[in-house]
Chain A
Amino acid sequence: MADVPLDRVAETATTEVEDLSLHHPHSWLTRYVFSQDAKTISIQYTVTALVIGFIALFLSWLMRLQLGFPGTFAFIDAAAYYQLITMHGMMMIVYVLTAVLLGGFGNYLIPLMVGARDMVFPYANMLSYWFYLLAVVILLASFFAPGGPTGAGWTLYPPQAILSGTPGQESGIILMLVSLIVFIAGFTMGGLNYVVTVLQGRTRGMTLMRMPLTVWGIFTASVMALLAFPALFVASVMMLFDKLFGTSFFMPSLIELGTRLDYGGGSPILFQHLFWFFGHPEVYIVALPAFGIVSDLIATHARRNIFGYRMMVWAILAIGALSFVVWAHHMYVSGMNPWFGFFFATTTLIIAVPTAIKVYNWILTLWRGDIHLTVPMLFALGFIVTFVNGGLSGLFLGNVVVDVPLSDTMFVVAHFHMVMGIAPVLVIFGAIYHWYPKVTGRMMNEALGKLHFWITFLGTYAIFFPMHYLGLLGVPRRYHEMGEASFFPASAQMLNAYITVLALIVGAAQLLFLFNLIWSIRHGREAGGNPWRATSLEWQTPETPPPHGNWGKEQPAVYRWAYDYNVPGVAQDFIPQNMPPEAVPLGARPASGGMS
């Protein structure tokens, strides 16, 4: 924060590696394809993930078509439905959300926001993207493999995941596991970069407690990912052994079609433990960068310093640590010792405390702020509301006695999509609208952006809110039709049809965003270097978009935290982090210190 004494500045050398050793590109190929510039890598990550995101969105359309109008589309049979659900889930969580928030935003924002010239290991950073792309190609290849992609459910629970009867058990499941292993190897190379850059690669004056919360969120999430992905890695290797070599890590003795299989003695619950030891931190690997980004969007567009910065940092760290001891709340109905349920319910509910601190601090930041309802701000506000709603239903599901009847119903789908689907996606949109001017030098179209926001925000509410009701009725998830369960009122099916229609509309509305994204590259309004009048370092680069090396001749020195908005007695309503104290313009300022 602003009160760290300045004499710490300029103690150590600016960089460990001289500028000349940055690998400057010489050809088109090394500049745009095999680039070692974190900013280019970020764009590669983001574009790839957006493509996967649209594919996964399309898969969800097909699922909704079947649920809304069962039997109308003959090609979506039960097997195809399971394949859709599996691929939609895995793609969205691992290959879209993780990739965009860490690989995309992490690569762009970390070096710029901490004042570094690049990530500390640009070569490994480049490899990270190419591993990610390879993982994506392997995953997509399963659509064309014999038997199609795996239909094991996105959690890939054994034993059914590798047994006949599960679609895609011929080769889809193998490709899925191999793809995950490659993804984790690639992520490790990127994640080490993000962590070491934040810890050891900051510019002069940039203490950890002066970093924007975006960097804190991405940093903590990267540390968590480095510790959580190993469990998924090991689980994938072991299941691959079960499938390919006939080992029985996860496979109990079982009879299939009247034949006793060679498996025996393994523990399916072990897989669930390993999967969720990764899977629950993964929720926060996605959420923490979103928390950080939202804090910065709110502070910038409400022209106020973030309320309780230190508490925000501690809350991020506390959530990160706690999320490693809650995983078995996904397994209340798996047949665990009841005492485990008690323990994990307690830890789960404790996470609500730091999370609530964050939400209160966002609200208090907005309180009496100079709120500008720009597109990024709308998305940030939409995130808070959605996240609170999704989080509250999480408190329901965290309690064993409430979870048991609601488990495997649409209530879980509703909770999960609100808190981990829509909420981070709103942040991703908001962040893209916010940082697009830095990446391209032009603004995205505001009218289109607002239209996109309102359709997405209201539409997703209209889609997922009624699902809570369906869940309370007992409508199961992962069923490709409700079947002959006559106890559902007829209105349940009507509601399903209504949700489907809305899902088609909201999904199609994302083309507005895609159009805006592409159209604005050439036709957007010129943005200038700092269109939002923001304080953090990425807006103070000498050139926009920043060239390789970011800072021209000299790296910036930092004199304050990232939230000096509307400081009394200063002539402008924001003070950039790198503005020396003697350069700050003093004097009165017009009462409405808004953006011109």
Chain B
Amino acid sequence: MDTAFTEHRTREPESGLATIVTDFSADQRAFRNVSWGKAMMWIFLLSDTFIFGTFLIGYMTARMSTAEPWPNASEVFALEIAGQHLPLILIAIMTFVLISSSGTMAMAVNYGYRRQRRPTAALLVVTALLGAAFVGMQAFEWTKLISEGVRPWGNPWGAAQFGSAFFMITGFHGTHVTIGVIFLLIVARKVIRGDFDHGRPGFFTGRKGRYEAVEIMGLYWHFVDLVWVFIFAFFYLW
């Protein structure tokens, strides 16, 4: 640094990569209008993406390496409703319910930013109910499969890894949904109590909450939905 420090060198106009670096490395915040909580949620979701990605890659490898035939998912997950044989019907309903919950979540975020307490809380509760319905149907699906003899270590139709991967991946995703439902209800309670209007400190963290919490909750919820789309495609449709 042989330039005198008292005067500031003005830089040559930058181009290409250099401008990106300058913008990104700017004062205080790399992402200008992103709060700490939102940044944390995005980075957490990136890490969680790697977890689900690895689960799915593990499942695909197991499916390729096993010598046994892979059970036909359409038949395994078919239901007899009113005498009709409907392949994948329950999964289709579950997917519809979960995707719909993303819609109500998005509406909740919208009302949250308008600071309308009642519709925000109501939509959060609706989202939680849809999520709970999803978990309930998953429980039904697990019960049905278990009663038909599917176990983590084997099943009547072919490769044992079918049951292993099924219980592991849907279980891990279902856990995510369940945690999401719990936090949706917590956020809904905070909204209806007016915590975000009065800046009431959190019970554990002592931090004042803001309506942005609804949006951060939404990020998580949409992620869980998106993961389901991939599980649906790779496990049920393949």
A contacts, CB < 8 Å to B:
1-6, 8-9, 11-12, 16-17, 21, 23, 120-123, 188, 191-193, 195-196, 199-209, 226-227, 229-231, 233-235, 237-238, 241, 245-249, 262, 264-267, 270, 274, 277, 305, 560-561, 563-564, 567-570, 575, 581-582, 584
Shortest Cβ gap from B32 to chain A (Å): 8
Cβ of B2 under 8 Å from chain A: yes
Shortest Cβ gap from A56 to chain B (Å): 27
Closest 5 CB pairs between A and B? A208-B25, A265-B66, A247-B164, A230-B50, A246-B153
Contacting residues of chain B (166-191) with chain A, CB-CB under 8 angstroms: 168, 172
Taking CB atoms, residues of chain B closer than 8 Å to A247 are 152-153, 160-161, 163-164, 168
Taking CB atoms, residues of chain B closer than 8 Å to A226 are 43, 46-47, 50
A200 touches B34 (CB 8 A): yes
B5 touches A266 (CB 8 A): no
Shortest Cβ gap from A275 to chain B (Å): 11
Query: Nearest A residue to B25 by beta-carbon distance?
Result: A208
Query: Nearest A residue to B35 by beta-carbon distance?
Result: A16
> Beyond A16-B35, A21-B206, A196-B36, is A231–B54 a contact (Cβ under 8 Å)?
yes
Taking CB atoms, residues of chain A closer than 8 Å to B226 are none
Apart from A3-B9, A234-B55, A248-B66: 9 A-B pairs, beta carbons within 8 A: A21-B207, A23-B206, A123-B205, A230-B51, A245-B164, A265-B62, A265-B65, A265-B160, A274-B54
**Most interface-central of A5, A188, A203, A208 (chain B CB within 10 A):** A208
Shortest Cβ gap from A74 to chain B (Å): 40
> Beyond A21-B201, A196-B39, A581-B6, is A11–B27 a contact (Cβ under 8 Å)?
yes
A249 touches B161 (CB 8 A): yes
Shortest Cβ gap from A210 to chain B (Å): 8
Shortest Cβ gap from A564 to chain B (Å): 6
Q: How large is the interface on B (under 10, 10 to 19, 20 to 34, 35 or more residues)?
A: 35 or more
A581 touches B5 (CB 8 A): yes
Cβ of B85 under 8 Å from chain A: no
B164 touches A188 (CB 8 A): no
A9 touches B27 (CB 8 A): yes
Cβ of B8 under 8 Å from chain A: yes
Cβ of B24 under 8 Å from chain A: yes
Query: Nearest A residue to B11 by beta-carbon distance?
Result: A3
Taking CB atoms, residues of chain A closer than 8 Å to B3 are 2-3
Q: Number of A-B pairs whose CB atoms are under 8 Å?
A: 180
Query: Nearest B residue to A114 by beta-carbon distance?
Result: B28
Query: Contact check: which of A3, A201, A204, A564 meets B36 at CB < 8 Å?
Result: A201
Taking CB atoms, residues of chain A closer than 8 Å to B34 are 200
CA–CA, A343 and B27, complex, Å: 40
CA–CA, A268 and B27, complex, Å: 48
**Most interface-central of A193, A203, A249 (chain B CB within 10 A):** A249
Cβ of B107 under 8 Å from chain A: no
Query: Contact check: which of B6, B28, B31, B51 meets A584 at CB < 8 Å?
Result: B6
Q: List 28 A-B contacts (CB under 8 A).
A: A2-B1, A5-B11, A11-B27, A21-B206, A21-B207, A23-B206, A121-B36, A192-B44, A192-B47, A199-B30, A200-B29, A200-B31, A204-B27, A205-B27, A206-B28, A207-B25, A209-B25, A226-B50, A227-B46, A230-B54, A233-B51, A234-B55, A234-B58, A264-B68, A264-B160, A265-B159, A266-B66, A564-B1
